[in-house]
Chain A
Amino acid sequence: MLSDKAKSEITESLKKYTNKRSACMDALRIAQAEASNNITKAAMEEIAGILGMKPVEVNAVATFYTMYNVKRPVGEYHIQVCRNISCSLLGAEHLIKHMENVLGIKTGATTPDNKFTLKTVECLGSCGTAPMMQINDDFYESLTKEKIDAILKDLK
């Protein structure tokens, strides 16, 4: 169930647009934020009800955009390491391997305690401070193995 707070945020979003459907992306973001960073079928059905859409239409939107975690639930900390060109030129691959070792999981997996999900991602627009990664909303830039160790230690 969406919380009252979420529902009122969705109502707020509707004011930005001339059609209800435009608020679909905001609604999904709001729903995901309050469900430990995941989108559930129930949430999509509720959003469909609010916006006058069919649940399959909401699902079609949710599955198109990669930041909605629909079929790929993520842990408490969603780590996304950039693997695109500028980060790669400065050693992203080694950092990804290092992360796998430290976390004891392969890229794409979540630790058994559901704390960390490790993924790779395409360019995040932070190429001048490559290599970089994003954990939940935050960017971590100019990474080294030592920096990564310190960041993970803080979160553990």
Chain B
Amino acid sequence: MEKVLLKNIDKPDAYKIDKYIEYGGYKAVREALKSNRDHIIQVVKESGLRGRGGAGFSTGLKWSFIPKDPTIQKYLCCNADEGEPGTFKDRGIMDNDPHLLLEGMMIACYAIGASVAYIYIRGEFAFGIRRLQTAIDEAYSKGFLGKNIFGSEFSLDMYIHSGYGAYICGEETALLESIEGYRAQPRKKPPFPALAGLYGKPTVINNVETLSCIPAIIEKGPKWFSSIGPEKSPGPKIFGVSGHVKRPGLYELPMGTTLREIIFDHCGGMLNDKKLKAVIPGGVSAPMLIAKDLDTPMDFDSVAAKGSMLGSGAVIVMDETTCMVKMAYIINRFFSHESCGKCTPCREGTAWLTNILKRLEHGEGNDGDVELLESVGTNIFGRTFCPLGDGAVMALRGTLKYFKDEFVYHVKNKRCMVG
């Protein structure tokens, strides 16, 4: 497949505006500015592009919810918080090809009529923040941002808002709270951000990778995009592979590439040729799959059919030496650490789960602990304000589904079944 998202990643100095232009950049936005806004939204709808931030919602549809009234201020927020453990794809784009993201954002802003855009990037990405700021400054100096961009009627300002260490800021309404200068706790929906988002104004929130698909869709057309991968979940996708593989890293492949191809063809197989025990297909919120699921196509619907989710496309590979109690502990500790504290089931429940998992992991488990894990999970699931709490439970349930015997072994023998 011809690369779209990572096409410039190995080209020298692609992060500089002149190089980006030399490599064919900033053509799509000029074209878009000549066409009608509704037409662009229609094209994005027809392309079948679904959000790469995790939920897989139709991008064109999301844009179409924005009110058309030109007198209302509208915003675009690019979600560059990239906090889901295992995920490092957006950073790949921002560090190496920031103008691709900027171009996608310009087109999105024009389509929805937003005159201000924010990039919400996690504060730990100091390098990426510098790269993006330089890219924005370059774009202003060329007249690609600011008043009448590219000599058109359209004006656009773009700013970076840097997060400062809180996973929950990736949740779109928490992100908005954070830009407004508050503690990042999710908002009640409805109202949805498309009607009342940032500062109460209509707002689109899109992931970095989603927005980076836009220039190619404008240039090559919606049919080209929808012809890549499965019909209902098309397009190129960046898979970030980590853990026990020979060649971890970012791989841009068609949606629907199987886990087996990703791990064994593209990543060169298992590290030290050990046996595969489990694989997380989409960041730690996504329940684990096992070897028999390796032929699952990696697209939103196929992974969901296996009881997990494509999420961010972060593939985490674990070999036979991995202790699943320890993995469950690490994952749950993360959720408990990142719980924003707004609702009790998540705040207290994840802490409870972590305590139980910690004692199992340290060989201090008691009879009944495995059942306790399940019952605490039941008391969290479906009772939380935002999806973080549910994600924590789903991840744990996924592990227990396949590896319950390891948990029981930990209670009985006070140690791991493996290694």
Contact = CB atoms under 8 A, between A and B. Distances in A.
Scoring A19, A85, A125, A137 by chain B CB atoms within 10 A of each residue's CB, the highest score goes to A125
A22 B118 CA distance: 12
A150 B248 CA distance: 24
Contacts of B391: none
B96 interface: no
Contacts of A19: 180-181, 199
Contacts of A137: 126-127
B85 interface: yes
B301 to A, nearest CB: 25
Chain B interface, DSSP helix/strand/loop, else mixed:
mixed
Interface string B175-211: 0001111111000000000000001000000000000
B331 A85 contact: yes
Given A125-B124, A127-B85, A128-B249, A89 B316 contact: yes
A125 B91 contact: yes
Contact of A18 (B165, B167, B199, B248): B199
Interface stretch (B47-55, B155-163, B367-375, B382-390): B155-163
A123 B165 contact: no
A110 to B, nearest CB: 19
Interface in B298-352: 314, 316, 318, 322, 326-327, 330-331, 334, 337-338
Interface string B74-112: 000000001111111011000000000000000000000
Interface string A115-150: 000000011111111100010011100000000000
Contacts of B166: 64-66
Chain A interface residue number, banded: 35 or more
Interface string A84-116: 111011100000000000000000000000000
A35 interface: no
Contact of B165 (A22, A65, A90, A126): A65
Contacts of A28: 164
Given A19-B199, A21-B181, A22-B181, A124 B124 contact: yes
A84 B180 contact: no
A31 interface: no
A49 to B, nearest CB: 15
A128 B85 contact: no
A84 B181 contact: no
Given A122-B334, A125-B91, A127-B88, A86 B242 contact: yes
A17 B117 CA distance: 11
B240 A128 contact: yes
Given A18-B199, A84-B334, A128-B241, 14 more contacts: A17-B159, A22-B180, A68-B164, A84-B85, A85-B85, A85-B330, A85-B331, A88-B327, A89-B322, A122-B83, A125-B124, A129-B248, A130-B243, A130-B248
**CB-based closest 4 A-B pairs:** A21-B181, A67-B165, A66-B165, A65-B164
